[in-house]
């Protein structure tokens, strides 16, 4: 069923090289002092039911620094007096566990194939990491991720506090390293962009597959299965966030998650779904009439949102503040809603953050960073001022209009009742202008009308 779509997908990129991970580690070490200890913990596994876990997905900073994906892992780095050395604590090889749960690289595999100097068994954590902590003055560790490591750090602080009274040594201070790593993650390398391009291509084809399957009589859950089925068929690890598949009034709920209604004839279907590939996210929204033909009212709103999105994408240029796309989208939307008679205020009034009516129909931001996390890390307002866009940053552009006739807080214009439109693409900032990573996903009215319901 997916073969035709799959044939349109190029080859997967080569994985990120160990030399690139090592270069990231070195760059981070340059921001540290020699008596610092860096600790990055994998996320804990979480329970789905009884003894069944949710599929494991590790902490993105750990992925970023060494590419290790297994649970119960801890990356740390310390200076040995001559140079920085990296350590990775991993689950040791264990034949019985591997028979039940799957193969493990273990200590030997980690040392042979991953970008770390030394690997240890996680069972030796307390002894080895406890010693590292005791030898350090500042611990760069995010508290609250792994309680056993928090306990080691707190225990060392308490011991040092007591020693300070007796010997004058100490103290240990603790700092969250997340912002330092976020600054690095904000700018994507060529190898990262290749992974993101592939995640975007897979997602674009998955949306196209859903449009083709579309048609009257389908259900939200069937469309979800087509999208997510293609993510896996094409080699993605799955979704990068739970898929939103809403038809009719469900398309006006921003993070709708039930995905189980029938799509009625003529409803707009809004699908916000993206694949994850080697940890990197794509995030695409497309909105289309399930019978393949926009009504005049749907067309008016769709074209307005598309115009606002194109205006926003045009602002994705080096040197612009990160919120320039948002302001551009807001302006186009507000003008359009005034023209359509939905807003009676002046343009300035409509755009006002508290009293403007634009926010009745467009109530979210236009962009977020995207990368290893779908809502990727990176401070938007460093020192209180909007960050300026730089080459290598990636962000989404996702304006929308939502006319929920079910809402008690507004009077929805009857002509547009229950039309929910969002159009979302992922943009790479370059010196030559914006690159739409998700450009393979159809979005003009003509493209959509020619694709919806033509069958897979
Ligand atoms: N899928 C959530 C978002 O677009 O941010
Ligand atoms: Mn998004
Ligand atoms: Mn999205």
Report the atom number in ligand 1 closest to the C-alpha of 398: 4
Answer whether the bond into residue 171 is a cis peptide, omega within 30°: yes
- Cα 272 to middle of ligand 1, angstroms: 7
Domain 189-451 in this protein, CATH class: alpha beta
pLDDT at 70 over 90: yes
Residue nearest to atom 3 of ligand 1 (CA): 283
Neighbours of 385 (CB within 10 A): 9
- Which helix (DSSP H) or strand (DSSP E) does residue 301 occupy? helix 296-314
pLDDT at 444 over 80: yes
- Specify whether the CB–CB gap between 210 and 223 falls below 8 A: yes
pLDDT at 368 over 90: yes
pLDDT at 226 over 90: yes
Residue nearest to atom 4 of ligand 1 (CA): 283
- Cα 116 to middle of ligand 1, angstroms: 34
- pLDDT of 96: 97
Q: How far is Cα of residue 150 from the mean position of the Cα atoms in its chain?
A: 27
Neighbours of 10 (CB within 10 A): 8
- Cα 145 to middle of ligand 2, angstroms: 25
Determine whether 283 is an active site residue: yes
Q: Residue 222 contacts by C-beta under 8 Å, 6 or more apart in sequence?
A: 213
CA distances from 288 to 107, 137, 216, 294 (A): 51, 57, 12, 8
Report the atom number in ligand 1 closest to the C-alpha of 272: 1
Determine whether 424 is an active site residue: yes
Q: Which of 256, 322, 402, 416 is catalytic?
A: 402
**What are 369's strand-pairing partners?**
395
**What are 353's strand-pairing partners?**
none
- pLDDT of 171: 67
- pLDDT of 169: 64
- Which helix (DSSP H) or strand (DSSP E) does residue 273 occupy? strand 268-273
Q: Which of 364, 387, 407, 415 is catalytic?
A: 364
Is there an atom of ligand 1 within 6 Å of 426 CB? no
Determine whether 398 is an active site residue: yes
Q: Which of 284, 281, 279 is nearest to 56 (CA)?
A: 279
Residue 369 in 3-state DSSP? strand
* Range with the poorest average pLDDT among 87-91, 168-172, 226-230, 400-404: 168-172
Q: Mean per-residue pLDDT for 381-387?
A: 97
pLDDT at 164 over 80: no
Q: Output the CA torsion sign for 48, 50, 52, 58.
A: positive
pLDDT tens digit sequence for 104-162? 999 999 999 999 999 999 999 999 999 999 889 899 999 999 999 999 999 988 887 77
Ligand nearest to the CA of 241: 1
Determine whether 375 is an active site residue: yes
Determine whether 352 is an active site residue: no
Q: What percent of the chain is predicted at pLDDT more than 70?
A: 98
- Cα 389 to middle of ligand 3, angstroms: 21
Q: Which of 256, 315, 422, 426 is catalytic?
A: 422
DSSP state letter for 388: B
- Cα 375 to middle of ligand 2, angstroms: 7
Determine whether 255 is an active site residue: yes
Determine whether 51 is an active site residue: yes
Q: What is the DSSP string of 194-261?
A: HHHHHHHHHHHHHHHHHHHH-STT-BHHHHHHHHHHHHHHTT--EESS--EEEEGGGGGSTT------
Is there an atom of ligand 1 within 6 Å of 373 CB? no
DSSP state letter for 366: S
For the purposes of burial, counting CB atoms within 10 Å of the CB of 2, is it exposed (0-12), middle (13-18) or buried (19 or more)? middle
Topology (CATH level 3) of domain 17-183: Creatine Amidinohydrolase; Chain A, domain 1 (3.40.350)
* Pairwise CA distance, residues 424 & 367, whole Å: 9
Length of the chain in residues, anyone? 456
- pLDDT of 1: 76
**What are 286's strand-pairing partners?**
271
Determine whether 402 is an active site residue: yes
- Cα 283 to middle of ligand 1, angstroms: 6
Q: How far is Cα of residue 283 from the mean position of the Cα atoms in its chain?
A: 7
Q: Indicate the average pLDDT of the chain.
A: 96
- pLDDT of 168: 64
* Pairwise CA distance, residues 38 & 132, whole Å: 10
pLDDT at 27 over 70: yes
Name the maximum alpha-carbon separation found in the chain.
81
* Pairwise CA distance, residues 448 & 454, whole Å: 11
Identify the band that residue 172 occupies on the pLDDT scale cut at 50, 70 and 90: confident
Is there an atom of ligand 1 within 6 Å of 241 CB? yes
Residue nearest to atom 5 of ligand 1 (CA): 375
Q: Mean per-residue pLDDT for 215-238?
A: 95
Report the atom number in ligand 1 closest to the C-alpha of 274: 1
Ligand nearest to the CA of 426: 2
Query: Do the bridges between strand 400-402 and strand 394-397 make them parallel or antiparallel, or are there none, so unpaired?
Result: unpaired
pLDDT tens digit sequence for 298-336? 999 999 999 999 999 999 999 999 999 999 999 999 999
Q: Domain segments of the chain: what residues?
A: 17-183, 189-451
Buried b (16+ CB within 10 A) or exposed e, 315-324: bbbbebbbbb
* Pairwise CA distance, residues 379 & 16, whole Å: 25
Identify the band that residue 165 occupies on the pLDDT scale cut at 50, 70 and 90: low
- Cα 393 to middle of ligand 3, angstroms: 17
Residue 424 in 3-state DSSP? strand
Q: Mean per-residue pLDDT for 353-364?
A: 97
Q: Which of 295, 301, 296 is nearest to 339 (CA)?
A: 301
Report the atom number in ligand 1 closest to the C-alpha of 241: 1
Is there an atom of ligand 1 within 6 Å of 315 CB? no
pLDDT at 216 over 90: no
Q: What percent of the chain is predicted at pLDDT more than 90?
A: 93
Mutate to test the pocket of ligand 1, among 270, 272, 376, 399 (most ligand atoms within 8 A of CB): 272
Q: Mean per-residue pLDDT for 279-297?
A: 97
- Cα 92 to middle of ligand 2, angstroms: 38
Q: Mean per-residue pLDDT for 252-259?
A: 97
pLDDT at 283 over 90: yes
């Amino acid at each position: 069923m997916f073969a035709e779509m799959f044939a349109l997908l190029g080859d997967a990129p080569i994985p990120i090289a160990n030399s690139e991970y090592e270069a990231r580690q070195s760059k981070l070490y340059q921001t540290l002092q020699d008596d610092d200890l860096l600790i990055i913990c994998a996320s804990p596994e979480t329970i789905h039911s009884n003894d069944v876990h949710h599929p494991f997905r590790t902490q993105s900073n750990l992925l970023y620094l060494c590419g290790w994906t297994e649970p119960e892992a801890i990356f740390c780095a310390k200076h040995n007096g001559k140079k920085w050395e990296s350590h990775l604590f991993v689950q040791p090889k264990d034949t019985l566990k591997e028979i039940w749960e799957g193969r493990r690289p273990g200590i030997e595999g980690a040392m042979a194939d991953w970008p770390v100097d030394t690997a240890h068994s996680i069972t030796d954590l307390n002894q080895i990491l406890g010693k590292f902590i005791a030898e350090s003055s500042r611990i760069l560790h995010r508290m609250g991720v792994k309680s056993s490591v928090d306990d080691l750090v707190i225990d060392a602080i308490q011991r040092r506090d007591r020693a300070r009274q007796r010997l004058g040594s100490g103290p240990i201070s603790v700092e969250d390293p997340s912002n330092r790593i976020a600054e690095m993650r904000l700018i994507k390398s060529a190898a990262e962009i290749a992974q993101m391009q592939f995640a975007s291509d897979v997602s674009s084809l998955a949306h196209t597959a859903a449009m083709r399957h579309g048609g009257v009589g389908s259900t939200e859950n069937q469309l979800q299965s087509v999208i997510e089925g293609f993510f896996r068929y094409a080699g993605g690890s799955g979704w990068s966030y739970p898929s939103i598949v809403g038809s009719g009034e469900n398309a006006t709920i921003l993070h709708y998650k039930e995905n189980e209604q029938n799509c009625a004839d003529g409803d707009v279907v809004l699908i916000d779904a993206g694949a994850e590939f080697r940890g990197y996210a794509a995030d695409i929204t497309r909105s289309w009439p399930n019978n393949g033909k926009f009504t005049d009212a749907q067309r008016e709103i769709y074209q307005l949102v598309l115009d606002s999105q194109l205006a926003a994408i045009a602002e994705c240029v080096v040197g612009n503040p990160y919120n320039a796309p948002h302001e551009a989208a807001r302006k186009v939307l507000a003008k359009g809603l005034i023209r359509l008679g939905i807003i009676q205020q002046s343009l300035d009034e409509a755009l006002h953050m508290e009293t403007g009516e634009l926010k009745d129909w467009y109530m979210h931001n236009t962009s977020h960073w995207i990368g290893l996390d779908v809502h990727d890390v990176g401070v938007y307002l460093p020192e209180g001022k909007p960050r300026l866009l730089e080459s290598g940053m990636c962000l989404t552009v996702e304006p929308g209009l939502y006319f929920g006739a079910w809402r008690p807080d507004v009077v929805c214009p009857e002509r547009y009742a229950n039309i929910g439109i969002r159009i979302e693409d992922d943009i790479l900032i370059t010196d030559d202008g914006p690159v739409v990573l998700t450009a393979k996903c159809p979005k003009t009215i003509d493209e959509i009308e020619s694709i919806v319901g033509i069958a897979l």
